[in-house]
Structure 1
């Protein structure tokens, strides 16, 4: 007789347990066991969070176990079950681990491989090779590409969250229902009382404080107090929600004819504008991508406006980045004046507000939606389609696409769809956001996803030139930590460049991203194949950094920086001024969002800035897909490195009125899930 001890762990999430019958078959090199019902008489098996053990005895030696077959059969009604893992103690006293971390539904039996990660070249048996092929064939039927809008990266073929494969759905759909979250946000923030005055204007800037009653937040309160000041305007280019727009100005563009006479009073080093440019003290923010984007016209009672400004920034003698010239449209001319700090107070203030509004539009649609959410979904779909669960890169990347496809499906269902919540408050609603993503897709480059390269391309890599660019400094530390971790894991499984080149599953994953994510756009620079270990490490670092750190850096500051409406207007209700000297405070108030749109906006930035319940942060891998000791040691080293970065950021932020913590690893979720 050959006796095996089988231990089964059920997940702890809601509804993970089951009352259905669970059967197990062991498949070995010398044969299979009989299908065995796992059941303890008078005991309720497979409860949520339970770990149950069973003795399985057979008369024949089945040899080395290659895989397990797990089948669930209906007891009363179909009852999904989440299996974490199964362990087997063999007659020889050895332990084998079979990670699952999947929902087992009423479809059919599933097959589990033991936890050792293997490349396709490492498979020694026909059963193992066949299992890899069948798993991918089944996944490719489940995870199908679909074009949501022409010009967008392809997304999952599902119209509703409930259409998704069970393994990638949220545990609780209510938690990601945008309508419910917005409503809850507005209740928490006491803004519902303004909704009956949806289209009425605020009375003055102080009137906006009425929806600020319940806010107790260091940064947002500081923004409210200082938003009109030039230093606060400039600081947000460095460390606000969208610190990716500006770049070092090497030469003034012809379309932005700023002269030395215009700005000399702002220059503090007794240098001309041209000399300041040569010294590297002048920076440019160009919102050209906004040019020609149609404004939201979904509400016939309220006109809304967009523009595509240019803003010249100066790093002054105190190393503060301040604005020195703003042009609100792309083409210069007499009806498109260049606004200056020396102009009338309200002329200058409104010009800055227009820049902030344009910045908000690009942040939401390009920096946030396209470059983190949509691209992370592309990585996730390609992962499920092309890498089997036994592949080391599947094990490495799967924590970083957790719930991403689900949150994006919910967004398409409720948020960015026609007549969705995005249309209620945003100037690019009603289709402008779609046009912006389509335009941004033609400009997307692989280098812009390589964080150090993206910083260098904008000429912002010098800590001496910009000593307070915390987005850059913290981001580089997190990038290096991720890259070091990836390097250790890759070197465990890939001996040389040839191993990378001949890994057909890896190459299929990369090709899927290029073909469907980047629409086969060769000018993007995204690789179609990966030929070296070095390039593989870079690529995997891009995937993990984008889906975790980059998203955190541009998402979780939305409430901090955008909750004070005048600092980040989601829409403008008056056209940009075409001459100087005509702007009054009343005109600015009439330009800013009305009460209803302000409330929707505030609810949105609150809801989008909240962490998920039971959030998993960078370096936290409770699902043990890897069982090999070298990988576990690499994970521990990674966690230690991340803790050091967190401590360094915490120490720097002490007593700061404007702390920067968006790249702090203890605030970086593993994946895009909100």
Structure 2
């Protein structure tokens, strides 16, 4: 029956003997990957028995078929995967290798692609196909890494190309049709609801954050993107129907289906990641947000009464409120929170309190974390005094700082303010202009906080110390009257010290929110997603720039989609734990207005913040104003390594600027990044024009930097630094106590309790900790900067050699980081809390390590 089937397709018969080409197909069966699908193996066996098999057809890269309307490569004889049922050899993590034997046909010649048809009822994950002893070529590799669903799910054939890169004009004529057709398939037609087997990359607004069909105004959120008022990067389109209440909003999935939100199938987490911890962890968070559980916490408003009380969650656990355990079964609790059988909450000990339980409270550590903590990209050099505001005075009135010389000059080691500014000794952490436009609305929620400015002085020993904190509120009579502000200065004893500690906590609340919403979410996750989409829509897998960038997009669309479901949505984790509350994502839209792509380059960012000046005699062409600035020191090394690698790679394929300009796929890609992916900023004059090799190198370097190093530096230290909430509180519940009030008396008598009653409450603390514990963890299948999943990712020797050099450079940087961390000269690299700066250390083990730069935004 099989021979007749082959003859019917090809017209060839047994007597026409041909030379044979052996092939190896590496794939993972569905029943191996999905342990809940017990029928998959049985159905596959039945399909094989009935002759419904998996077959491949080679496509010639040298011989054309002139019989149709389009010029296509000749097709070879179909060849079937052998021994599907009996092949049990496991290579690694469920992979199996199958043999396939092709007839060699001189009329077809060397293959450059193949068609695969899955006639089974179940999908499988195709990793690689390797052909041996191909005449004139020896071995040909096809790196696939794609889900192949049953053929009846597709409108067109599934095609995979060899690992040889081609610019569009260099593509062999027989392959051009397939190259262009594949891109058309990936773009789709912009209609319909997407199904799990779809491979469609398209754009949509962030119109699925709210849930207007709940008939509760507190669930309504504005559409982000597509308007002057709310500009935003685009996200992946799912095609779900609109809500009944608001046709501009997209309907949401039920909470427990959050992990099933559509992204193109090949963008979903791999099976190792899903089975590792992420699926269960995020499901737990979604359950933790259930109204039943939150209501139980609300009915028993437990507080952490002391820092020792809070530390119990790391030292053996704390007992949940009695009414909670009585009303909700322990089985549910064990799924929701990291508990033992007795309902005790337990978390791993964060590094910030591992060695010294109080060092986090020092002024030196408070300042050091602006250079080496979670958010080291906000601090800037102070160049004018008093600090001025850039927010519109016609709307918001006067917002010039009220910090005076009298507040700080006794803390400048004998310098005047002008002398300190001139010698680059004064710095500012400025959250005032970022927060003030939203502060009145934010404080109308349970949040009670300020917009802050923090001035810092650089001592001779290279460390920073805060010298003044200004906390500001909108004027009670209206925005047009400006701000009312209070300035606080360091104090070491009494109630003045308690007030100073609270002032630092309000700054930390500001910084925590800006870190999560802007530095982490907006500047990495959100701005990269439309570039992922554009790359898949406009750059063929054959394109060298696709091969360069694709590893840096792994899992990004999937984690962003899950985030929209349970993290950034209305009343999700972000709104429940961060101070902007319901205005969190809207505020990130407001700040997207200031996003400038070329300024995301690390050198440009440092110069913009006046933390460095251009200096051709210094390493990397920059001189840092703070020599011991760990994020910048390590970051510039990583940036330089990435740029050197990108330069070597791009220079191999592009020999002139004219080649850049004539590359139709490259030009379509960059046009779409600007005009569709970041459409609300498409008219900004700062976009690179993509006319020169330099512009290509710079743009690709920025994309890789944002996807790898910047994300790593601002994500994987979350548990070490913020796993102890007092160090990085995410919200505040009351204003600074005023003399004569009960709160002020409590501050005098029990400052620690007053501190804890001001910052994040217990339920939000536990929710926040559950979230950042997941976000801080490397999975077992992580692929780090300088690594590739498949060593045969390209056939070109020179790029492979350049990539090897890139990896060697990163290894040398690791040695340099370890050496600097061990040198007491560099006090900011370790600090009072004794946490060595490793957030830009390229590699890591799995788990919570506080180091490692994954290739992509994968969590």
Question: TM-score w.r.t. structure 2 length?
Answer: 0.72
Task: Give, in whole Å, the separation in 2 of the partners of 1:453 and 1:63.
Answer: 51
Aligned to 1:248: 381
Number of the residue aligned with 1:143: 201
Gaps of 5+ in 2: 1-16, 35-39, 48-52, 65-73, 189-199, 207-222, 225-230, 241-257, 289-293, 316-346, 389-399, 476-481, 614-622, 824-829, 844-851
SS in 1 for 2:537: helix
1:121 alignment partner, SS class: helix
Structure 1 position 11, deviation (Å): 4.0
**Cα pair distance change 1:93/1:546, threshold 3 Å:** closer
1:507 corresponds to 2:640? no
Give the match for residue 170 of structure 2: 122
Q: How far apart in 2 are the matches of 1:305 and 1:42? A: 64
Taking a change above 3 Å as real, the CA distance of residues 449 and 228 of structure 1, as seen in their structure-2 partners, is same
Distance 1:614 1:328 in 2: 45
- How far off is 1:541 after superposition? 0.5
User: What CA deviation, in whole Å up to 9, does each residue of 1:475-533 have, x standing for no partner?
Assistant: 00000001111111101111100111111211222222212333242575552630111
2:412 to 263, 267, 288: 267
Q: Retained in 1: the 8 A contact 2:19–2:104? A: yes
> 1:179: how far off?
5.3
User: 1:201 offset after TM fit, Å?
Assistant: 2.4
Residue of structure 1 equivalent to 2:436 = 291
Match of 2:608 among 447, 451, 457: 457
Match of 1:105 in 2: 149
Tell whether the 8 Å contact from 1:388 to 1:394 is kept in structure 2 after alignment.
yes
Deviation at 1:556, TM superposition (A): 0.6
Count matched residues.
662
Question: Does residue 54 of the first structure (1) align with residue 100 of the second (2)?
Answer: yes
Q: After TM superposition, give the deviation of residue 202 of structure 1 in Å.
A: 2.1
Unaligned 5+ segments in structure 1 are 187-191
Q: Supply the distance in 2 between the matched residues of 1:446 and 1:289 (Cα, whole angstroms).
A: 19
Residues 207-261 of structure 1: CA deviation (Å, up to 9, x unaligned): 2222232544443435742122111111011111000111001102241132222
Residue aligning to 1:189: none
The offset of 1:206, in angstroms, is 3.0
SS at match of 1:24: strand
User: Partner residue of 2:568?
Assistant: 416
CA distance in 1, matches of 2:75, 2:359: 72
Cα distance change on mapping 1:180 and 1:371 into 2, 3 Å: closer
Q: Distance in 1 between matches of 2:182 and 2:27?
A: 22
Match of 1:169 among 265, 268, 291: 268
Aligned to 1:352: 504
Superposed CA offset, 1:258-283 (max 9, x none): 22222122111x21112211211001
2:21 maps to which residue?
A: 5
Aligned partner of residue 499 in structure 2, secondary structure:
helix
Distance of aligned partners of 1:468 and 1:63 in 2 relative to their CA distance in 1, 3 Å threshold:
same
Q: Does 2:79 align with 1:36?
A: yes
Equivalences for 1:325-404 in 2 at 5 Å? 325-329=468-472, 335-342=484-491, 344-404=496-556
Measured on the aligned residues, the alpha-carbon RMSD in Å equals 3.0
For the residues of structure 2 that align with 1:10 and 1:355, how far apart are their CA atoms?
Answer: 53
What is the match of residue 635 of structure 1?
A: 803
Query: What TM-score results when the alignment is normalised by the length of structure 1?
Result: 0.91
Q: Structure 1 pair 89/45, CA: closer, same or farther in 2 (3 Å)?
A: farther
CA offsets per residue over residues 152-190 of structure 1, 9 Å max, x none? 21100126644222111112446433754656999xxxx
CA contact (8 A) 1:220 1:559 kept: no
Q: Distance in 2 between matches of 1:267 and 1:176?
A: 49
Match of 2:719 in 1: 559
3-state DSSP class of the match of 2:509?
helix
1:201–1:593 contact (8 Å) kept in structure 2 = no
Superimposed CA distance per residue, residues 106-133 of structure 1 (whole angstroms, 9 cap, x where no aligned partner): 23431222221001010241x3221121
Find the aligned partners of 2:85 and 2:561 in 1 and give their Cα distance. Answer: 43
- Between stretches 377-386 and 651-660, larger displacement belongs to 651-660
**Match status 1:440 vs 2:591:** yes
How far the C-alpha of 1:37 sits from its partner, in A, is 2.1
Using the TM superposition, give the Cα deviation of residue 297 of structure 1 relative to its aligned residue in structure 2, in angstroms. 8.1
Equivalent-residue separation in structure 2 for 1:498 and 1:45 (angstroms): 52
Corresponding residue number in structure 2 for 1:277: 421
Contact in 1 for aligned 2:532/2:553 (Cα 8 Å): yes
**Equivalent position SS for 1:345:** helix
Post-superposition shift, 1:554? 0.3
Q: Following the alignment from structure 1 to structure 2, what is the Cα–Cα distance between the partners of residues 620 and 41?
A: 32
* Residue 660 (structure 1) aligns with: 837
* Aligned residue in 2 for 1:24: 56
SS at structure 2 position matched to 1:219: helix
User: CA contact under 8 A between 1:570 and 1:593: conserved in structure 2?
Assistant: yes
Distance 1:505 1:92, change over 3 A: closer
Measured in 1, the distance between the counterparts of 2:128 and 2:856 equals: 20
Q: Is the 8 A contact 1:198 1:595 kept in 2?
A: no
Given that 1:154 and 1:517 are in contact with CA atoms closer than 8 Å, whether structure 2 keeps it comes out as yes
Residue number in structure 2 paired with 1:316: 459
Indicate the SS of the match to 1:265.
Answer: helix
Q: Which has the higher contact order (CA 8 A, sep 6+)?
A: 1
